[in-house]
Structure 1
C-alpha cells in the first residue's frame, strides 16, 4: 500500500491527482490519499452543475466549482475540511460498499474520544448529524472511494453555496431529507487543527498497514497531472457543460438517490434523453442506456421493456427497473 499527502489546495489539481492514482498507478493494489482544498463546490459526475449551486453566491465569493469522476451529490470544501481517498483493486457488485471504506475515519475518531457511526446510503454521523459524505467510482475491478470530512468547515458558507433551486416537479416517491450537519471539532475532548487531524488519520493507517510507503511522483508524472488539471478539470466544458434544453424535465427522488431526466419526445417517440442526479453505478458512461431508449415510444410499457433489455444495475446501483421507468415517464 502507498500513501500520498497532497501539498496543493487547488481542487482542479487534487482531483486530477486522484484520477491519476486511480487510472495510472495500476501496479499498486491499494492507495491512500489525504488532501485539503480551498473553498470549492465539488459536484458529482452525473449532476447538472447549474441546478446544484447558488451560482450568484459562488461567483461573488470566488468559490471554485469542479466536477469529479464519481457519482453522488455536490459537497463543499474549504481549508478546514479534510478529504481522503482510498483506491483498491477488488471486485464490487451493483451495491457499493461504503461502510468498510469509512472505517479509518470511524476508528481514528474513536481514538480521539468521539463515537461516529455509518448510516444511510453513504454518510458518517456523530449523534445523528452528518460529518462526512462519501462517493465512489469503479473501473474494471478497481474502486476509488473518497470522503469529504467536515472538521471545522464554515457551515454558513456551505449552506449558502449549496442553496439549490426548488424542484419544479413534485415526486410521490420516497423523499430524501437534507441531513443536519456538524463539524468534528466541537465534539473533540482535546481541540486540534485540521492538519493535526490529518496526521492522526495518517498515523492510524500506518499502524494498520505497517508496510505502507509514501509514493514519490516523477517529474513526468507531475507534468501529466498538471496537464489534466488544466485541460480537463479547469475547463468549463467538464465542470459545467451545456445545460440541457429538452421539452420534458422530470426530477424524482428515490431511496438510492435523485434522478433528473431531460428528454425530447416527438410524435410520442423519445428522440433524445439525458440523465443527471446523485446516483452511482459501476459504469459511468450512460450512453448505452440513453441509446437503448432512443426511438422508443414514450409509454410506460415501452420504456419499461427497453430498460429490461439492458443491465440497468450497472449504471444505476440500487434502482429497480420500475423506479427508473417512473423517473422517465409518469
Structure 2
C-alpha cells in the first residue's frame, strides 16, 4: 500500500545511535485481528494466547486490537495516582489493569494496539518497534524514532507506549499507536486524584504526545491494521505469496466458544478485586478548610480496602462534639476505597464542619 508521502524526516542523531538490528529467524507467523472493542475481552484473549499457545522457534504471532474508551494501568500501579477515577465513572470510560508492568495509557477507537508473541529467546522489543517504524515509513512516508525509553516518537512527541511480560515458556511485548485518539478525553482521563496520595506503586512518566494523523492525514487505524498485518507476515519472509498471507491472517471474536477458558480470564480482568484490590498499599489524605481552620482526613488503604482512618483537628479546637463526630469516621474501616465512598465522605466532612461553624457562631452571640 502506497499513499502520498509525509514530510517528517528521520533524526540523524537517533539513527546514528541505533543498535545493531536483531535478525528475526524465518518462522511461521500468524496475525490475529480481534473483532471486539471490549478492553476486558481483549486483555483476556491476549492472556489466553499467552497461557495456551506454544510459541517456539517455529511459531510467532501478532495480535491487533482496538478498544472503546478506557484507561489501562500497569500491573503494579495505583489507579488513584494515574487517572481521574471519578471522571472515568461519569464518562463511561472503563478502567482496566493489565498483566504486564509499565505505565498508564489511554485507549479509544483512534488507538491501535499490537501484541507480539514469541518464545522467550526470540523476545526483542526494539526489533518489534523498528518493524513498526519501518513499515509505517514504507507505506505512509512518516519517519518515527525509537527513544531511549524504547517508545516510538515523532519529532520528540511520543506516539506509542510499550510494555512486556516474560515467562520461561514465552514472552509478549505489547504497544500502542496513537492514530487519532481524542486528546481532550485523554488529558481528562489521566488527570490524577485531588487527594494527596503516598505510594510505592510504579509511577508513569509523563510525556508530550501526538497523534500520527497530526503528522500524516493518510494514516487511519484500518489502514494501519492492513499495513502492519501484511508487513509482519512478510517480515524476513520475502518469498511469501498472497495465498500464504491470507491463510495466516485471522479475524477472531474473543469468546468462550472459540477459546475455552477465556470467560474465566475475562471475569478476572473485569473484577473489582483485580482492578482495585491489586493496588499496592497506599495512604490518601485531604485537607478541608473552614473559616481559615484546617482539618486533615488521612486514610490508609490495603488491598483496596480502608484499613485505618485518622482525623487531624487543630489543637484547642473548642467544639468537642464535632471533633467526636469527625473521629467517628473510623466506621468506614474495612470498606472499599471507591468513588462513591470518597464522595460521600467528603460531603459528610464538609457538612459536619458547616454545623460546627454554626455552633461556634451561636456561642459567640
TM-score range, shorter chain: 0.5 to 0.7
Count of residue correspondences: 244
What is the rounded CA distance, in whole Å, between the counterparts of 1:179 and 1:247 in structure 2?
26
The 1:220/1:27 distance shift into structure 2, 3 A limit, reads farther
Match of 1:237 among 270, 273, 289: 273
What is the rounded CA distance, in whole Å, between the counterparts of 2:77 and 2:100 in structure 1?
10
Alignment of 1:130-279 (within 5 A): 130-165=158-193, 178-188=206-216, 191-208=218-235, 209=237, 210=240, 213-214=248-249, 220-229=257-266, 231-241=267-277
Helix, strand or coil for the counterpart of 2:121? coil
Q: Which runs of 5+ in 1 are unaligned?
A: 250-261, 265-330
What is the rounded CA distance, in whole Å, between the counterparts of 1:244 and 1:148 in structure 2?
25
* More displaced stretch, 3-12 vs 207-216: 207-216
CA contact (8 A) 2:82 2:204 kept: no
What is the rounded CA distance, in whole Å, between the counterparts of 1:248 and 1:50 in structure 2?
9
Aligned to 1:35: 65
Larger Rg: 2
Helix, strand or coil for the counterpart of 1:106? helix
Give the C-alpha shift of residue 140 in structure 1. 0.6
The 1:122/1:234 distance shift into structure 2, 3 A limit, reads same
- Larger proportion of helix: 2
CA contact (8 A) 1:45 1:72 kept: yes
CA deviations on 1:154-185 (whole Å, 9 max, x unpaired) are 111111101124876799xxx98621100001
The 1:170/1:146 distance shift into structure 2, 3 A limit, reads closer
Give the C-alpha shift of residue 77 in structure 1. 0.2
The 1:47/1:198 distance shift into structure 2, 3 A limit, reads same
Give the C-alpha shift of residue 22 in structure 1. 1.2
What is the rounded CA distance, in whole Å, between the counterparts of 2:152 and 2:68 in structure 1?
22
What is the rounded CA distance, in whole Å, between the counterparts of 2:83 and 2:218 in structure 1?
32
Match of 1:78 among 96, 108, 119: 108
What is the rounded CA distance, in whole Å, between the counterparts of 2:92 and 2:136 in structure 1?
32
CA contact (8 A) 2:256 2:263 kept: no
What is the rounded CA distance, in whole Å, between the counterparts of 1:193 and 1:216 in structure 2?
19
CA deviations on 1:168-221 (whole Å, 9 max, x unpaired) are 6799xxx98621100001212x52421112111112112224366235879654
What is the rounded CA distance, in whole Å, between the counterparts of 1:116 and 1:86 in structure 2?
19
Helix, strand or coil for the counterpart of 2:114? strand
When the two structures are superposed, what TM-score results if normalisation uses the length of structure 2?
A: 0.60
CA contact (8 A) 2:35 2:251 kept: no
Aligned to 1:116: 144
When the two structures are superposed, what TM-score results if normalisation uses the length of structure 1?
A: 0.66
What is the rounded CA distance, in whole Å, between the counterparts of 1:97 and 1:248 in structure 2?
39
Aligned to 2:93: 63
